[in-house]
Chains A and B, each alone.
Chain A
Amino acid sequence: MAYSDKVIDHYENPRNVGTLDKNDENVGTGLVGAPACGDVMRLQIKVEEGKIVDAKFKTFGCGSAIASSSLATEWLKGKSVEEAEEIKNTAIVEELNLPPVKIHCSVLAEDAIKSAIADYRAKQASRKKAAAE
């Protein structure tokens, strides 16, 4: 199957590969997987004053899964958490010209974003609760 130029570009020069400190209370970590292909994707965001100041990812999977998560980290930086929540997999499909058989890779990236935000929010909630006690 032929990959689009944009997928190849992200695959060969992935942006923002790496790790943020998962114990940092301003860092949200999303860990998701696609059992049907044996893929695993970790996406992390660092939030300061409601804005995403950094995003990192690590994906073991096909070119489309790597490209989807790489693109997601590019899009996340500079967005507010609320804006980040609005990122849809269909936008990733459009940007990367993913074929129908690879749409599930973009779904995985959207799940990873949502899961990172949920983790960040859960940390903030427990911090507030701890401060109130």
Chain B
Amino acid sequence: MDPFETLALPRRFGLDLKLAEARHLELSKTLHPDRYVGAPPNERRLALSRAVEVNEAWRALRDPIKRAEAILRLSGLEAEVGETREPKPSGAFLMEVMEAREALEEAKASRDAARVEGVVREARAQLGDAERALARAIDPVLDQGGGAAELRAAIPLLGRLRYAARLLEEARNAEDDLM
């Protein structure tokens, strides 16, 4: 499935999320089962499966990780994304990840809400940086009709985005625990 095609949106990482959400709502309304009361069963079934597809497309596009994965898959890099297939992160980057996770663990253990909040801010900043880097690595390539060879460089950036998302998730959990 191409979630961009389903919502009739241009294939881009730097997506207009407001427009994507509006498309999702609009199509969901059009395909709502209430509008198919009394319609032939095959039409009802078709509308239902289209509605499911529209929901899936919106879920895939609103999450930057899934959006990047979708673009890379659709560009012929399916076999290089996910599980153990992605390139190993650099030692320096892993050191930063380890330090951030250990700092969060310490802040959690000492119930230091200010430090946990600091990690949340740090994770948000990392997430923003990774998203911007991905947009720079993906969108100009797509605009110029480039493909897998040029987009391969975006895979390590997707890794950075996932690490940032994990840090944010853990930091938010810690925040909840301290409340």
Contact = CB atoms under 8 A, between A and B. Distances in A.
A31 B98 contact: yes
Interface residues of A, number: 15
Contacts of A40: 94, 97-98, 101, 163
Contacts, number: 53
A35 B80 CA distance: 12
Contact of B94 (A32, A37, A104): A32
Interface in A19-54: 31-38, 40, 42
Which of A34, A36, A58 has the most B CB atoms < 10 Å from its CB?
Answer: A36
Interface residues of B, number: 26
A51 B82 CA distance: 37
B177 interface: no
A31 B94 CA distance: 7
Contacts of A35: 86-89, 156, 158-160, 162-163
8 nearest A-B pairs in the assembled complex, by CB-CB distance: A35-B159, A38-B166, A104-B84, A60-B101, A38-B162, A40-B97, A31-B94, A33-B89
Interface of B: 81-89, 91, 94-95, 97-98, 101-102, 156, 158-160, 162-163, 165-167, 170
